[in-house]
Chain A
């Protein structure tokens, strides 16, 4: 369900329905079949691992979000949980956590999105309660992503909208909502990403649309789903390259596509 590169690119983490986050060291030798062996298994979640991200600048720490309603900060060196955010005896999400995003400007802060229709801001030094809870969505919050300046974050939801929140005040600053052509049912947002300047918000939808929103004007400037060679199924994930020059989208049509300004290349 989720995977992430470490900041140095030396290892990869991935998690899913086995409730475990597995770490692979890319420098390790492969077996006869060319497969890489797991170098560390992070066990402890009581539900599926929906999302994971390495703490920026640290190959040894990782945060996961889980179907057990918690987020966990892991020490990869020991394989142990450093902190648990939420859960049965602590204030936190009341339904599955579907997405997390760590603040690139302050790695002590991260946000989580959940099936309880809220997003929550956490301080890794204070696990007992969320710093702030953000209400507004009317369905599962499938995706959360920090705005490049680190003071705002975006969300994408099952209610078909994306929203922009301010972490310091809790204000909901913008709603990105547009009827999709030819749809009787509303398309859900599955994944979001910001361009490197924050001017663009890219959102993938269950009907194969991939809207590029102008963050300031809340207008759709482009629908990648309407272009030639667009995906033929639900967009499930998307992400920008480190230099912000290319976008990659993944879909139920089994394809990964790379989009760059003025061009299009397909990667199988």
Chain B
């Protein structure tokens, strides 16, 4: 409010009115507004990123496939921190139990853990066994039963008529009677002539 100057009656001087305090001018808070707008823009950008991600997630492969990839990778690579000759018995027992569950199709992994047991191996994929017996029925086509000659199978030609079966490592039933380690015994008779070598080389079971 502008006040008009007044004349002092005692003198001829015009005196200016006393200043009256005024409120500071209202400047627009541009910095705060711009900051808030920037935050809103960032949130809108995050929303569009999430919408894009949601759309792209429709074509993703199921998690089970990812798990299989991990298992395949782990089994295919050796590890210095893991024993190679000694089997992890606890893990083998778990896999044996899992592999016997017919409702679970774990054949893709059953043959990679421990020995080939109670199931079928895909002989084309890193079969540790030296021979595949295609005569044994497998639940999966083009698969065959894989036997490791060393531990589960008998030598085909023992060279003797009698085989003593020592059931080492055979903890499951197979249709083959020769699932054992072969020790041959020879039965021989000593001839009557004294110049002939005695039967010292024959061993009994």
Chain A residues packing against B (C-beta within 8 Å) = 89, 91, 129, 132, 147-149, 151-152, 164, 166, 168-171, 173, 195-200, 214-217, 243-245, 247, 261
Contacts and interface: CB of A to CB of B under 8 A. Distances in A.
B49 A129 contact: yes
B26 interface: no
Given A91-B45, A168-B60, A199 B66 contact: no
A173 B79 contact: no
A200 B63 contact: no
Interface string B51-62: 001000100110
Contacts of A147: 70
Contacts of B83: 261
Nearest to B79: A197
A66 B73 CA distance: 33
Given A149-B69, A216-B70, 16 more contacts: A91-B42, A91-B49, A129-B45, A148-B77, A166-B66, A171-B60, A171-B66, A173-B66, A197-B82, A198-B77, A199-B74, A215-B70, A217-B91, A261-B80, A261-B81, A261-B82
A244 B81 CA distance: 7
A171 B45 CA distance: 23
A120 to B, nearest CB: 12
11 contacts: A91-B49, A151-B69, A164-B70, A166-B63, A168-B60, A168-B61, A169-B66, A173-B67, A200-B79, A214-B91, A247-B81
Closest 5 CB pairs of A and B: A197-B79, A245-B80, A197-B77, A169-B60, A171-B63
Contacts of A164: 70
A199 B113 CA distance: 13
A216 B80 contact: no
A171 to B, nearest CB: 4
B102 to A, nearest CB: 21
B14 interface: no
Contacts of A261: 80-83
A28 B77 CA distance: 39
A198 B73 contact: yes
Given A129-B49, A261-B80, A170 B70 contact: no
B75 to A, nearest CB: 8
Nearest to B95: A217
Contacts of A152: 66, 70
Contacts of A173: 63, 66-67, 70
Contacts of B61: 168-169
Contacts of B91: 214, 217
A44 to B, nearest CB: 22
A215 B74 CA distance: 9
B92 to A, nearest CB: 12
Nearest to B94: A217
B59 to A, nearest CB: 10
B201 interface: no
A155 to B, nearest CB: 15
A200 B81 contact: yes
A132 B94 contact: no
B148 to A, nearest CB: 22
B79 A149 contact: no
Interface string B62-102: 01001101110110011111110000000100100000000
Contacts of B70: 147, 149, 152, 164, 173, 198, 215-216
Given A91-B49, A261-B81, A197 B74 contact: yes
A125 B71 CA distance: 31
